[in-house]
Structures are given as C-alpha cells and as structure tokens.
Structure 1
Amino acid sequence: MLDNLLMNLSEYAYLSLFVTSFLASTVLPLGSETLVVVLIRSGFNFFAVVMVSTIGNYLGSCTTYYIGFKGRSDIIEKYFSISEKQLRKADSWFDKYGPFLLLFTWLPLVGDAITASGGMLKLDFRIFSIYVFIGKFLRYFAVSYLALNL
C-alpha cells in the first residue's frame, strides 16, 4: 500500500504541488508546506519543488488580486473568508508600508487580505507581481531548505 502511494506521489507530485499551492492562496484554507516538505524529503528536485510551488501560489494570488481589482468584495467576503475589517487593516498597512507589504502575502490569516486589497487599490500589476513572486519564492525556498537540512 505504501509503495502504491509513493508511486502515485511520484507520478503526480508536481501537478499536485501546483494545484495545492494555487488553492492555498485562493479559496481554500490549506497549506502547501506539508507537501513541499514531503517532496523534498523524498528526494524530488529542490529547484523544481521551489519553482512549482512558487508559481502555483503566485498565480493563486493573481486570482485574488483580480477579484479585488474588479471590486468584487462580495466574492472576497463570501468565498475567501476575508472580512471587511481585514481589508481595512490591509489598506492601512498599504498606506504605511506601500507595495513592500506584498512581500508578506504568504502570511496566514492576513496574506489573502493583503492580496485582495492590492487589487482593490488598483496597484500596478507589474509591481504586484514582482513583490508577490519574490515573497512566495523566498517562503518556498526557506521551507524547502529547512526540509532538506533538518
């Protein structure tokens, strides 16, 4: 049974990682870190795991940004479980820290609010992309590095 699980993991590992990472930054309150750790500890390519998880999580954030950009606060509150209070807090953080705040969209509880607020504030998508991608990359690099070295 364990052999079958490992064989299936090998066959669909990167696709599963991409989907999990994408969904983790959109509508589902789940984390992709566990799968990253399992893949790294199972000998999967370090760089491939980091990049697949980064790209999946970044594209999920782009989805949230787009919904915010279109002003769909009803969808954000209902499906993303981001309250109006969280959005106001993220807006005030943008006033204080500027786009640098986007480096922290990976944080639990507030990351999705930061992403949605970035869209609602109509931040330049290029700036959004640079900061969010760097933040996501650093997160997955750190998780993968720790999984490999601990």
Structure 2
Amino acid sequence: MSDALALFSLFSGSFLSATLLPGNSEALLVALLLAEKSSPLMLVAVATLGNSLGGATNFILGRLFPLRTQSRWRERAQGWLQRFGPAALLLSWAPVVGDLLCLLAGWLRLAWGPALFFLCLGKALRYALVAAITLQGISWWH
C-alpha cells in the first residue's frame, strides 16, 4: 500500500468511526504506525482530522433535529450539558457515547467554537495516547 493510500484509508476510517457507523480507527492507526507508513505526527494528525470531521458531522446532524419546548429528555440532557458545557465533548472519542454527545451538542445548539474545540481536543488526545503507547511498546520490544 502506498503512503498516500495509507493516509487516505486512515482519514476515511477515522471519519466513518466518528459517525454512527461502526469502525475501529485506533487499530488502523496502530497498524500504520507499526508499518511505518508515515511519521507518527502525520498519522495522528490525519486520524484526528478525519475523526473530528466525523464528529462535526454528527454535531451538524444534531442541529437538524427540531427542538421541542416541552421534552423531559431534553431538559435532562440540557441540564447535564449546562453543568459541563462544551467541555463534555472531550469525551467525544468514547465509543457510542461520543457519537451521541456530538449529536446532542448540536441538538441543544451549543456554541460552535467551544464545542468544536473540545471535540477536536478530545479526539487528538486519544490518538496521541494510542500512538505513544504503540511507539513505547515498539521501543520496549527492541
């Protein structure tokens, strides 16, 4: 596999993993790190970009759902997100829950800037941690 195809595969896999579709972008990142297809920084950046855009897609989709004025579920969700604010999107990387958090943040009309900042930060930290553990494991075995 060429380096360009590897990066495109990582981007695509990371994007799809951030939507409600199943995927495992971490496994792909680890495989590409082990194959040394690109620099670790480039691989983490591409995975973060793809996954962040997927999370932003969920955020946008959430905005498409109409707000109801009298919804018990909305009041609970809004109370929880008001307590933690956009910083709750640091957990946007978590399987299943992260996708729902992004949808919910859009549905509740959280401010774009802070929401996208925390969404991207959470995803970047996750991929950086996966890469660091992988690279540390490689150096440990050698």
Q: Could you state the TM-score of these two structures normalised by the residue count of structure 2?
A: 0.84
| Aligned-residue RMSD, C-alpha | 2.0
Shift of 1:38: 0.7
Q: Which residue of 2 aligns with 1:21?
A: 14
Q: Is the 8 A contact 1:18 1:53 kept in 2?
A: yes
Retained in 1: the 8 A contact 2:87–2:115?
no
Identity of aligned residues (%): 34
Question: How far apart in 2 are the matches of 1:10 and 1:68?
Answer: 35
Runs of 4+ in 1 over 6 A off after TM superposition: none
Does the Cα contact within 8 Å between 1:65 and 1:120 map onto a contact in 2? yes
Greater mean deviation of Cα atoms: 13-22 or 64-73: 64-73
State the alpha-carbon separation in 1 of the partners of residues 9 and 120 from structure 2. 20
Answer whether contact 2:20 2:99 (CA < 8 A) is retained. Answer: no
Structure 1 unmatched ranges of 5 or more:
1-7, 74-84
* Match status 1:145 vs 2:139: no
Match of 2:5 among 5, 12, 20: 12
Q: Distance in 2 between matches of 1:32 and 1:135?
A: 15
Partner of 2:41: 47
What letter corresponds to residue 120 of structure 1 in structure 2?
W
- CA 1:127–1:11: 2 relative to 1, 3 Å: closer
Residue from 115, 119, 122 that aligns with 2:106: 119
Tell me the TM-score normalised to structure 1 length: 0.80
Amino acid paired to 1:99? P
What stretches of structure 2 of length at least 5 have no aligned partner? 68-72, 138-142
48 and 97 in structure 1: CA distance in 2 versus 1, 3 angstrom threshold: same
Structure 1 SS opposite 2:22: coil
Q: How many residues align?
A: 131
- Could you report, residue by residue, the CA deviation over 1:38-78 in whole angstroms, capped at 9, with x for unpaired residues? 111112311100000000000001111001011179xxxxx
- The 3 A distance-change label for structure 1 pair 95 and 11 is closer
- Call closer, same or farther: CA 1:30–1:91 in 2, change over 3 Å: farther
